[in-house]
Amino acid sequence: MRPLKIALVTSLDGGVGKTTLASVLGVAKGYVLLIDMDWEKADLSQLFRAPRKPGWLAPFLKGDAPYVHKITPMLYLVPGYEAFELYQRMGEDVAGDFAEALMEWVEHLPKFVQRLRMPADTVIIDTTAALRTELLSRLQKHGVYNIFMTDRRLISRISDVKAEQYRRYMAYASLVVVNLVEKDEVKMARKIAPVVLKRVSIKDYYGESVADSVLRDRENRKAVDQLVYRLKVA
């Protein structure tokens, strides 16, 4: 059995397309387990219409096994509704506990996938924006492939304070992806980041439909293929 690859999709700001990228990567690559650890939104769970069953937080709440939602024979999802609901009630008071739970999951994921005999060689974790850099450092030491996601703000005029924040977060990144770029900004964005995704029109917000909308653009398809390749050889 090949070693399990674990990738984390992170960002400094919300709304940059982390969930979209996680879904696109899952669909494009296949043999992927997605985990919705964005406790501020749980959008990935909703995007793939996962039922409201115990998710990744279940083992820490009641000792229950998490539900694994089968999207296709090559794509699975562990939902994150419970974490979202707890965060809505308690806010940042639980963020530290969630971060520790995320770390525990990363440490035990190979056994979890093997125990379920799941046909997955890659786990992609969608996270909340602005995770603490201390956690990113620990994940980096654990060999997690950190995909840092940003949007056209990275190529716009930004304050020195914001630029310093970007530098801090990008220091923990295995790869930087710039998303939601207009056609005339692609060349400029490629000078900063190796993977650039153009803004596309998305009509149907369902996981596979979102992925199809992004991948239908030829340049986006090449960018995602490049990302998939980097994941495989990391």
Number of domains in the chain: 1
Which CATH number covers residue 62?
3.40.50.300
Domain encompassing residue 43: 5-233
Per-residue pLDDT of the chain (234 residues; tens, 9 = 90+): 568 999 999 999 999 999 999 999 999 999 999 999 999 999 999 999 999 999 999 999 989 999 999 999 999 999 999 999 999 999 999 999 999 999 999 999 999 999 999 999 999 999 999 999 999 999 999 999 999 999 988 888 778 888 899 999 999 999 999 999 998 999 889 988 989 999 999 888 888 999 999 999 999 999 999 999 999 988
Angle, CA 124 vertex, CA 120 and CA 76 arms, to 5°: 50
Scored b (16 or more CB within 10 A) or e, 140-166 reads beeebbbbbbbbbebbeeeeeeeeebb
Q: Report which DSSP code applies to 185.
A: G
pTM for the complete prediction?
A: 0.95
